[in-house]
Chain A
Amino acid sequence: MFGLSRGDLLLWLFVLLLVLAAPILLNPFPESSALAQFNGGYPDLMQRFLIFGIFAIGFNILFGLTGYLSFGHAAFLGAGSYAAVWMLKLLTINVIPAIIVSTLVAGILSLIIGYISLRRSGIYFSILTLAFAQMSFAAAASVGFVTQFTGGETGLQTALNDPRILDTASTTGNIPAPSLFGLEMRDSFQWSVGDWLWTFNAGYYVCGFVMMVAFYIAIRITRSPFGMMLKAVKSNNERLSYTGINPKPYTLAAFVISGMYAGLAGGLMVAMDPLAGVERMQWTASGEVVLMTILGGVGTLIGPIFGAGLIKYFENIFSKINESLLHQWFAFLPDGVEDFFVAVIYPFVGKGWHLTLGLSFMLVVIFLPGGMVGGLTSLYRRIFKKSKQAN
């Protein structure tokens, strides 16, 4: 159905269900319990799960299928963000033009960067993309001509006196918030059941809709003849050319598609929070999406989404744990033992959450080459096989 096989459709519906129910699923702990700070079900974080999910799904089309590892996708994320802010400033506060234009602008930029970078493969390709992204970053931050469009170090944001030619002019009141035909992205509906509090946010569901479409397109691409050619590029690029295929347009198309996904993610960030800064183009953002994809499972359909979710959860939840909190948790232990446990765990939480991330990344790369999803699949197969043998 919808051009998907039964298995893929079930996978898509499974993800849809998770997205719809996430505000409840991610808030499993009652508000007043000590564990409430592990709740991830607040709009800001949930939006980021989905936006970075889109970023990683797109990155996986390039890296997972063709094997070309780009270290410069932050440039497209940033370009998409700037384009979206300009749309909100000049055209309308409605998020739809912002999202569409951010995707297109990132597509054009990725066509240029991809065309040049794809003249090389392997590590040279990665270095070229990194160099382009750093150039974009430097230009956006401090090259006079470019900073007119990017706001330089201060960045861009919407203001009250922006033209917004499609909207009715108003020079009084508050800066209008990004909206979808009047539905403001920051609007939320809260539902409290007993001691639980669930927040259903408009922006989150807009992101959810866009991500489900993006995920659907990614599945279609993966299961198309085009997708098979991309896998062939990864498997044996030279053989492909002796088979009568020119691998270059295939890899370039994959590069542009993944760049457009990155731009879309950047545009959505702005739609949720109408500002863009130069840090979105920094190399750490490029590295982050690589981590997400590998952690979740390179080349798997659903892996990048989980990888993105996991990293964003770590970043926002683990980093909140501080020393006094740890002392609270281990208060039941004798003083000396308590101090010992706190001293051991403390470097891995709070500001040290990167250490935990790094360790888990190492464990995944060494023991689960297929990422979390690859690991789960082989575990499932092993159990399934054993139960079959037992029968």
Chain B
Amino acid sequence: MGSALEVRGVNKRFGGLQALNDVNLTVEEGRIHAIIGPNGAGKSTLLNCFVGRLKPDSGTVMFHGQNLLGILPYQVNQVGVSRVFQTPEIFADLTVLENVMIPALAHRDGIFEMNAMKPLLKETDIRKKAVDVLEDIGLHDKLDMTASSMSRGDKRRLEMAMGLVQEPKLLLLDEPTAGMSRADTNNTIEVLKHISKSRAITMIIIEHDMHVVFTLADRISVLAQGTVIVEDQPENIKGNKKVQEAYLGGAH
């Protein structure tokens, strides 16, 4: 299998802070790649560079031969990269089903479609697709609930459904289990494992929960002070000296 995402020499500076310092990363197709690191290591900054939220000062991010840098967020999405946000970014006033139908429509119809006279009720395929994903994720009994009235854990799951319904080639997950109970976390792990296998979606996961990381990831990159210090198999990461140092903040 080839590589899905190739990150080369990405730098990002905020004023006096070098947030990303010559980041290099290769994500193999169909794998789950975890990015871990202490707080402030630059994990979220890196993810923001992938989806057009931030523009790096230099470097390239190639996704199946297409440069993701310098294109707009909705263009990144249309190329096949979906992002699941850390704090739930949902359409709070809309229903759960609508929240998932919107990305499904975006996947089918592209960035704009003037279908003002088409009844939403006739979009049975889109509806079915959304309901299927919500079933997978365990929200099928809340279809008509207003998204804002859901629990935080359910909102996170809704976020994931919004990403999955687009059948992305690459799914970016920013701390998918943060704020979830142990049971919900395990459930999410199962869902992600299942999806990764059944749909062959490449995933990049940023995660603090080491249980999640070591159960899911095929490969792990450790980010510290804006640089990738180690990239290896999970079993080799656990005993790595550099990683332990990074997490202990350089105290010997």
Interface residues in chain A, defined as those with a beta carbon under 8 Å from any beta carbon in chain B: 3-5, 217, 220-221, 223-229, 231-232, 234-236, 238-246, 249-250, 253, 257
Contact = CB atoms under 8 A, between A and B. Distances in A.
Contacts of A238: 89
Given A244-B111, A245-B102, A239 B90 contact: yes
B74 A245 contact: yes
Contacts of B51: 242
Interface of B: 51, 53, 72-74, 77-78, 82-83, 85, 89-94, 98, 101-103, 105-107, 109-123, 126, 162, 166
The list of the 10 closest CB pairs from A to B, nearest first, reads: A244-B77, A244-B106, A226-B116, A246-B111, A235-B91, A249-B112, A235-B93, A241-B73, A239-B89, A241-B74
A183 B126 CA distance: 48
B116 A221 contact: yes
Nearest to A3: B119
Contacts, number: 114
B112 A250 contact: yes
A167 to B, nearest CB: 35
30 contacts: A3-B122, A5-B119, A5-B121, A220-B117, A223-B119, A224-B116, A224-B117, A224-B119, A225-B118, A225-B123, A226-B115, A227-B116, A227-B120, A229-B102, A231-B91, A231-B93, A232-B94, A235-B91, A235-B92, A235-B93, A240-B91, A242-B51, A242-B77, A242-B85, A243-B74, A243-B106, A245-B74, A249-B111, A249-B112, A253-B114
B102 A243 contact: yes
B120 A245 contact: no
Contacts of B113: 225-226
Contacts of A243: 74, 77, 102-103, 106, 162, 166
A229 to B, nearest CB: 7
Contact of A236 (B78, B83, B91, B120): B91
B94 A245 contact: no
Contacts of A221: 116-117
B140 to A, nearest CB: 20
Contacts of B85: 239, 242
A260 to B, nearest CB: 12
B112 A232 contact: no
Contacts of B77: 241-244
A244 B91 contact: no
Contacts of B112: 245-246, 249-250
Contacts of B117: 3, 217, 220-221, 224
B103 A244 contact: yes
A57 B114 CA distance: 20
B120 A240 contact: no
Nearest to A249: B112
Contacts of A235: 91-94
